[in-house]
Amino acid sequence: MKMQLSEIARALEIEAKETWEDITITSVSFDSRQLEPGALFVPLIGEQDGHRYVQAALDNGASAVLWQADHPETPTAIPALVVEDTLVALQALGRYYLQKINPKVVAVTGSNGKTTTKDMIAAVLSTQFNVQKTFANFNNEIGVPMTILSMEPNTEILVVEMGMDRFGQLDELSRLAQPDVAVITMIGEAHIEFFGTRDKIADAKMEIVNGLKEDGILIYNGDEPLLVERAAKIEQATFTFGNEPKDDLQGINVVSDATKSSFRVTLWPDENFTIPMIGAYNVKNALAALSVGKEFMIDVAQMAKALENFDLTKNRTEWRTGTNDFMILSDVYNSNPTAAKEVLQAFAEVKVAGKRIAVLGDMLELGENERQMHASLAEVIDPNKISEVYLCGPLMESLATALQAKFDVDQIHCYSPEQKEQLATDLLTKLTPDDAVLLKASHGIHLEEVLTKIAKSE
Predicted confidence (pLDDT) per residue in 19-57, tens digit = 999 999 999 999 999 999 999 999 999 889 999 999 999
Residue with the bigger pLDDT between 66 and 333: it is 66
Report whether 222 belongs to an annotated binding site. Answer: no
Across 64-68, 187-191, 286-290, least confident range: 187-191
CA 147 to chain CA centroid, nearest Å:
13
The whole-number pLDDT of residue 240 equals 98
Q: What pairs with residue 250 in β-bridges?
A: 242
Give the integer Cα–Cα distance in Å for 101 and 154: 8
Q: Fold for domain 318-454?
A: Protein-Tyrosine Phosphatase; Chain A (3.90.190)
* Tens-digit pLDDT profile for residues 197-220: 889 999 999 999 999 999 999 999
Residue with the bigger pLDDT between 243 and 311: it is 243
Which one, of 123, 156, 159, lies nearest residue 138 by Cα?
159
Report whether 116 belongs to an annotated binding site. Answer: yes
> Which CATH code for domain 103-308?
3.40.1190.10
* Tens-digit pLDDT profile for residues 405-448: 999 999 999 999 999 999 999 999 999 999 999 999 998 999 99
Average pLDDT over residues 294-315: 91
Is residue 247's pLDDT more than 70?
Answer: yes
* Tens-digit pLDDT profile for residues 80-132: 999 999 999 999 999 999 999 999 999 999 988 899 999 999 999 999 999 99
The whole-number pLDDT of residue 376 equals 96
**Mean pLDDT over each residue of the chain, to the nearest integer:** 94
Report whether 115 belongs to an annotated binding site. Answer: yes
Containing 5, the helix (H) or strand (E) segment is helix 5-11
Surface-to-core class of residue 114, CB atoms within 10 Å of its CB (0-12 exposed, 13-18 middle, 19+ buried): buried
In order of 86, 148, 215, 284, 382, the CA distances from 169 in angstroms are: 18, 17, 23, 25, 39
Give the integer Cα–Cα distance in Å for 453 and 424: 6
Report whether 110 belongs to an annotated binding site. Answer: yes
Is residue 165's pLDDT more than 90?
Answer: no
For 138, residues 6+ apart whose C-beta sits below 8 A from its C-beta are 144, 146, 147, 161
Containing 68, the helix (H) or strand (E) segment is strand 64-68
Q: CA 366, 372, 376 angle in degrees (round to 5)?
A: 105
- 3-state SS, residue 239: strand
Q: What's at 392, amino acid-wise?
A: C
Average pLDDT over residues 136-163: 96
* Tens-digit pLDDT profile for residues 323-381: 999 999 998 888 889 889 989 999 999 999 999 999 999 999 888 889 999 999 999 99
The whole-number pLDDT of residue 367 equals 86
Surface-to-core class of residue 221, CB atoms within 10 Å of its CB (0-12 exposed, 13-18 middle, 19+ buried): buried
The whole-number pLDDT of residue 222 equals 97
The answer to whether 204 and 225 have CB atoms below 8 angstroms apart is no
Is residue 316's pLDDT more than 70?
Answer: no
User: Half-sphere exposure (CA, 13 Å, Cβ side) for 298?
Assistant: 25
Give the integer Cα–Cα distance in Å for 158 and 185: 18
Architecture of domain 3-84: 3-Layer(aba) Sandwich (3.40)
Would you kindly state where each structural domain of the chain is located, as residue ranges? 3-84, 103-308, 318-454
CA 322 to chain CA centroid, nearest Å:
25
Report the predicted TM-score, pTM, of the whole model to 2 decimal places.
0.89
Could you give the dihedral angle defined by the CA atoms of residues 152, 158, 163 and 169, in that order, rounded to the nearest 10 degrees?
90
User: Half-sphere exposure (CA, 13 Å, Cβ side) for 123?
Assistant: 26
Average pLDDT over residues 164-190: 93
Is residue 315's pLDDT more than 70?
Answer: no
Give the integer Cα–Cα distance in Å for 284 and 279: 9
Report whether 114 belongs to an annotated binding site. Answer: yes
